[in-house]
Chains A and B, each alone.
Chain A
Amino acid sequence: MMRQKKADALQGTLDLLVLKTLSREPQHGYGIAARIQHITDDMLRVEEGSLYPALHRMEQAGWIAAEWRFTENRRRARIYRLTRAGQKRLSEEEARWDRLLKAVGKVLRFA
């Protein structure tokens, strides 16, 4: 139950990052973490301890799907890709995030 509550605030953001990353191309867990870190110039570091449970949860929710594949350096990796439901979720999350940003922006400007 506790987990559920936290999910709204924190995991929502993580979900958005993961979904957005996957919308570019299918990727394994490490790749997702590396990409987020790379794009944000090391500003955002995704903790593995929360990344994998999140991936698993999103897989169950049907937003992403996974399969085992070999990477270019011949390692077996679990590759995640965005599903149709995930795409929808992503746009919702993006909209939500925009609203949040605008709201925070207003506070910063006028408060």
Chain B
Amino acid sequence: MGWFRRLRSTILGSNLDEDVAEETRFHLDERIDEYVKSGMTYEQARLEAQRRLGNLALAREQVRDVDSFRWLGDLGQDVRYALRQLRRNPGFAIAAILTLALGIGATTAVFSVVDAVVLRPLSYADSSQLVMIDEWTPGFDSIPVNGLHFQEWRRTATSFDQIALIGGLNVNVTDSSEPERLPAARVSSELFPLLGVQPQLGRVFLADEEVPGREHVVLISNELWRRRYSADPQIVGRTISIDGVAHQVAGVLPASFHFPKLSDLYPLTIVQDRPQIWKPIALGPEEQTLSGHFDFVSIGRLKAGVSARQAASELDAVQKDFLAQMPKALGSDLRTQVQPLQDRIVGRAKTGLELMLAAVGVVLFIGCVNITNLLLARLSSRRRELAVRSAIGASRWRLTRQMIAESLTLSAVGGACGVLVAYDAIQLILALAPADLPRLDEVQVDARTVIFTLIISTIAGLVIGVSPAWQFGNADAGEAMASGMRSTASRGTGRLRFVLVSAQVALSAVCLILAGLLLHSLVNLLNVDRGFDTNHIMTVGVNPPISRYPTPEKRVAFVRTALDRLKVLPGVIDVAAANMLPLAGEGGNSALSIPGTSAPLFEHALGNIRTVSSDYFRTMGMSLQAGRLFSDADRERQVAVISMSIAKRAWPGEDPVGKRFHFGPRTAPDREVIGVINDVRGVSLEAGPSFSVYVPYWQGFFIATSFAIRTTEDPVTITPAIRVAIRSVDAELPLSALRTMEEVVEGSVAQRRFQTNLVLAFGAVAMLLASLGVYGVMSYAVTQRTTEIGIRLALGAERGAVLRMVLRQALRPIAAGVAAAVPLALGVASWLRSLLFGVSPLDPATITVACLALITAAVLAAYVPARRAANLDPLIALRYE
């Protein structure tokens, strides 16, 4: 009770004082009464009572002294004093607050992205128990899940509460509105209960809807429901046509439900986006073979207390049984990998984001050090104030606290402005961020962000204030008084300032070196030998639905007609079709077996099968290395063109042309290699060349198809004509976005470019701030030495010598900083190895360029005050004091 009242009175100000005043007043009144009773006049009584009470103010002060919350009151006093100090130096205050607001704002913004993407648990019930399950074989490492294996796991595994199977696909939705091609997923009935998701309308799937024939129901995403069906509350029970087959809408998922993009779960998927349509997964007989169709993603919820490792070893026992049942030739081992779902989703983006956070933190730190340097400079001129305060009894602790209070006040104001900056900065980051950064739609400013800002502001305040406070508190009052009005910096302050500048230079050099390495990687990546052209090529994808194109013949006929219509468009040089163009995803992989060899299937070369038209190679600018390309004349001959990489792997040291191999179903005929084509980075620029097998599209096994159109002019100009041409073949067919091949390449490096740009920007800001730091410290040093320099000049020192002298003084901390930066950068870069491409963390060119850039900027910054020193008028300089 007592403490609460005291705390309140301290915070609210004078409540305690009032209590004391009223109590004293009461005492006086009683005393006066007593005296009046004993015969004094009222006036006499009042005077006597006053006299006897003595020094009222002193008594009050003593009462206040015993208040245990006094420090809080003092803190208020410190803060008020600090605010007064800031008002007295508006230039300094504005510069410092602006630096802090931008630094804290940027750090907060990057933090909220890192928080949403990496740190925050997935937005599912008890998401720490969610895991992703992969199959594992020595030949391929992890591969997607086989449907039959999953069914066995589901039946027997006791480590999980539930496990679910997911497969991606693209579907065409046709009903009253415009036909649309949408990302979709087939899922087992466990998925939604497992994630703890309740539908907003309707119901989730039932277990018996996994039976083929009963699977014609769908759940739709909230977004699709609002956009396409204008949030129709009667949607449940309605029939919509999916790939030409009627499906009943079973329910609508809530807006809060975020499912990761399937491509974040598995790069080996043809579906790049978040599913909008969900269907029960009814596995066909061909999807339930023991050793084929590793096509699915499996998510499980671990039972409480079961570790991922335990779950994996349980599944491995099941896998061992499968292995025993499989033909011996299939493989030597089969296991599972169980990994937290969150690690899987954010794994690839994590290092890059952490780097961004570190970089922006460095910028903030360098900014703080600049403010520290300003404070230290001001400190020297406040020595007299400090001396006086110390002489009249302020303790060292009190003076130290005063400085800390000043810097914390600064950082609090800066942090408050920083939150506003962060708000805009987050929008900016979201606008710039690549679409393939996972969980980006979960970024928001919330309590966590604000708490982070609070913490970072406090840290910034301490960073700013600690060294001035130490200097302030440690200063010798006597010495300060003796030095009187002359505001000379103490030796300690001067040295400290140079150390701080070295730290700034070192950190910004590290930032610049890393930014340089990233930039170098990006340039390497864009210049890597892709194996295909990007100039003047437009691409578009279509998905002829099975319902209207049930047979391979119909699909082939569609592609053939479309190719013919596109070929005759004005400005078109070449047209090609392919089931999947480079960088559009992984596509279908098949193990290739060579007749007559006995290597286990899982250890065979894995071929990325692409069904293409004969003009594909010419259109994409690829070059034949041996043999010939296929042409229409090959008709049904089982021919294939293979990439160099496969040729080297399957027939090392031999001429592959004329060799035969086999892939796909056992019944499929062997194929003959007729040609070898150059390697292409078909899946991603980072991954090495894909093992590609090209077969003629007219032999039929493809569903989706893409067209590549090479033009004489800017390909964007014929976009409308392309649309019209394909619509003229089938008006109901939805087209994917038309993108030039250059856009496709650019899109594939978007995440890397984003990281590089941000780190580069932070590096540049760090360099600028460090230069400002050098400038500030040198300016101050020159001002301090004005008299000395004046004397030197008066005694005949050359101006050039003075210039050199000042620059030399500046060069020492710069050189020390750069020297410290190099080993530091090496350490950090090896942590970032996964982000580098084609450049070693030790790359001497990058390190040299970054260091030189920084040294140049820093020396230029020092040159300004150095020149001022050299141009001093000795007469004015000597009168300066």
Interface of A toward B, CB cutoff 8 Å? 3, 28-31, 34, 47-49, 52-53, 56-57, 59-60, 62, 65, 73, 75-78
How far does the Cβ of A8 sit from chain B's closest Cβ, in whole Å?
A: 16
Contact with A along B64-88 (1 / 0, CB 8 A): 0111100000000000000000000
Q: Is the CB of A77 within 8 A of B26?
A: yes
Select A29's contact among B23, B33, B65, B68, beta carbons within 8 Å.
Answer: B23
Asked whether B451 is an interface residue with its Cβ less than 8 Å from the other chain, the reply is no
Q: For chain B residues 1-42, which have a beta carbon within 8 Å of chain A?
A: 2, 6, 19-20, 22-24, 26-27, 29-31, 33-34
New contact pairs (16) apart from A52-B63, A77-B23, CB-CB < 8 Å: A3-B65, A28-B26, A29-B23, A30-B26, A31-B30, A47-B54, A48-B54, A48-B59, A49-B58, A52-B59, A53-B59, A53-B62, A53-B65, A59-B2, A60-B2, A60-B6
Asked whether B53 is an interface residue with its Cβ less than 8 Å from the other chain, the reply is yes
Asked whether B55 is an interface residue with its Cβ less than 8 Å from the other chain, the reply is yes
In angstroms, Cα B2 to Cα A73, docked, is 27
Select A52's contact among B23, B29, B30, B68, beta carbons within 8 Å.
Answer: B23
In angstroms, Cα B252 to Cα A48, docked, is 79
Task: Name the CB-closest residue of A to B33.
Answer: A73
Return chain B residues, CB-CB under 8 Å to A29. Answer: 23, 26-27
How far does the Cβ of B700 sit from chain A's closest Cβ, in whole Å?
A: 92
Q: Quick one: which of B20, B30, B53 has the most chain A CB within 10 A? A: B30
Task: Name the 5 nearest CB pairs between A and B, nearest first.
Answer: A53-B62, A30-B30, A30-B27, A49-B54, A57-B66
Return chain A residues, CB-CB under 8 Å to B63. Answer: 52-53, 56
Known: A48-B52, A49-B59. A56 touches B66 (CB 8 A): yes
Return chain A residues, CB-CB under 8 Å to B54. Answer: 47-49
Q: Is the CB of A78 within 8 A of B62?
A: no
Return chain B residues, CB-CB under 8 Å to A3. Answer: 65
Known: A52-B23, A75-B26, A78-B19. A60 touches B66 (CB 8 A): yes
Task: Name the CB-closest residue of A to B19.
Answer: A78
In angstroms, Cα B662 to Cα A91, docked, is 103
Return chain A residues, CB-CB under 8 Å to B29. Answer: 75
How far does the Cβ of B70 sit from chain A's closest Cβ, in whole Å?
A: 11
In angstroms, Cα B35 to Cα A34, docked, is 12
Q: For chain B residues 632-663, which have a beta carbon within 8 Å of chain A?
A: none
Name 5 interchain pairs, CB-CB below 8 A, sorted by A.
A49-B53, A52-B20, A56-B63, A56-B66, A60-B6
Task: Name the CB-closest residue of A to B29.
Answer: A75
Q: Quick one: which of B20, B22, B52, B59 has the most chain A CB within 10 A? A: B59
Return chain A residues, CB-CB under 8 Å to B20. Answer: 52
Return chain A residues, CB-CB under 8 Å to B67. Answer: 60
In angstroms, Cα B49 to Cα A34, docked, is 13
Return chain B residues, CB-CB under 8 Å to A77. Answer: 23, 26
Task: Name the CB-closest residue of B to A62.
Answer: B2
Return chain A residues, CB-CB under 8 Å to B59. Answer: 48-49, 52-53
How far does the Cβ of B184 sit from chain A's closest Cβ, in whole Å?
A: 71
Return chain A residues, CB-CB under 8 Å to B62. Answer: 49, 52-53
Q: Quick one: which of B2, B53, B58, B66 has the most chain A CB within 10 A? A: B66
In angstroms, Cα B30 to Cα A60, docked, is 25
How far does the Cβ of A86 sit from chain B's closest Cβ, in whole Å?
A: 13
In angstroms, Cα B24 to Cα A76, docked, is 11
Task: Name the CB-closest residue of A to B49.
Answer: A48
Task: Name the CB-closest residue of B to A45.
Answer: B52
In angstroms, Cα B22 to Cα A77, docked, is 8
Known: A48-B52, A52-B20, A62-B2. A78 touches B26 (CB 8 A): yes
In angstroms, Cα B26 to Cα A77, docked, is 6
Return chain A residues, CB-CB under 8 Å to B23. Answer: 28-29, 52, 77-78
Q: Quick one: which of B2, B33, B34 has the most chain A CB within 10 A? A: B2
In angstroms, Cα B62 to Cα A75, docked, is 25
How far does the Cβ of A59 sit from chain B's closest Cβ, in whole Å?
A: 6
Return chain B residues, CB-CB under 8 Å to A73. Answer: 33
In angstroms, Cα B485 to Cα A13, docked, is 51
Q: Quick one: which of B23, B24, B53, B59 has the most chain A CB within 10 A? A: B23
Return chain B residues, CB-CB under 8 Å to A48. Answer: 27, 52-54, 59
Q: Is the CB of B66 within 8 A of A53?
A: yes
Return chain B residues, CB-CB under 8 Å to A78. Answer: 19, 22-23, 26
Q: Quick one: which of A34, A48, A75, A77 has the most chain B CB within 10 A? A: A48
In angstroms, Cα B253 to Cα A85, docked, is 64
Return chain B residues, CB-CB under 8 Å to A30. Answer: 26-27, 30-31
Return chain A residues, CB-CB under 8 Å to B33. Answer: 73
In angstroms, Cα B53 to Cα A34, docked, is 13
In angstroms, Cα B31 to Cα A75, docked, is 13
Return chain A residues, CB-CB under 8 Å to B34. Answer: 34
In angstroms, Cα B2 to Cα A29, docked, is 18
How far does the Cβ of B86 sit from chain A's closest Cβ, in whole Å?
A: 34
Return chain B residues, CB-CB under 8 Å to A56. Answer: 63, 66
How far does the Cβ of B48 sit from chain A's closest Cβ, in whole Å?
A: 13
In angstroms, Cα B30 to Cα A75, docked, is 9
How far does the Cβ of A70 sit from chain B's closest Cβ, in whole Å?
A: 11
Return chain B residues, CB-CB under 8 Å to A47. Answer: 54
Q: For chain B residues 116-175, which have a beta carbon within 8 Å of chain A?
A: none
Return chain A residues, CB-CB under 8 Å to B27. Answer: 28-30, 48
In angstroms, Cα B848 to Cα A1, docked, is 60
Return chain A residues, CB-CB under 8 Å to B22. Answer: 76, 78
Return chain A residues, CB-CB under 8 Å to B6. Answer: 60
Select B55's contact among A28, A31, A49, beta carbons within 8 Å.
Answer: A49
Return chain A residues, CB-CB under 8 Å to B65. Answer: 3, 53
Contact with A along B349-376 (1 / 0, CB 8 A): 0000000000000000000000000000
In angstroms, Cα B26 to Cα A73, docked, is 11
Return chain A residues, CB-CB under 8 Å to B53. Answer: 48-49
In angstroms, Cα B57 to Cα A49, docked, is 10
In angstroms, Cα B34 to Cα A3, docked, is 32
In angstroms, Cα B31 to Cα A97, docked, is 30
In angstroms, Cα B22 to Cα A53, docked, is 15
In angstroms, Cα B63 to Cα A53, docked, is 5
Q: Is the CB of A60 within 8 A of B19?
A: no
How far does the Cβ of B37 sit from chain A's closest Cβ, in whole Å?
A: 12
In angstroms, Cα B30 to Cα A73, docked, is 10
In angstroms, Cα B59 to Cα A60, docked, is 17
Return chain B residues, CB-CB under 8 Å to A75. Answer: 26, 29-30
Return chain B residues, CB-CB under 8 Å to A28. Answer: 23, 26-27
In angstroms, Cα B53 to Cα A24, docked, is 25
Return chain B residues, CB-CB under 8 Å to A34. Answer: 30, 34
How far does the Cβ of B643 sit from chain A's closest Cβ, in whole Å?
A: 85
In angstroms, Cα B26 to Cα A54, docked, is 17
Return chain A residues, CB-CB under 8 Å to B55. Answer: 49
Return chain A residues, CB-CB under 8 Å to B19. Answer: 78
Return chain B residues, CB-CB under 8 Å to A52. Answer: 20, 23-24, 59, 62-63
Return chain B residues, CB-CB under 8 Å to A59. Answer: 2
In angstroms, Cα B142 to Cα A62, docked, is 69
Q: Is the CB of A76 within 8 A of B66?
A: no
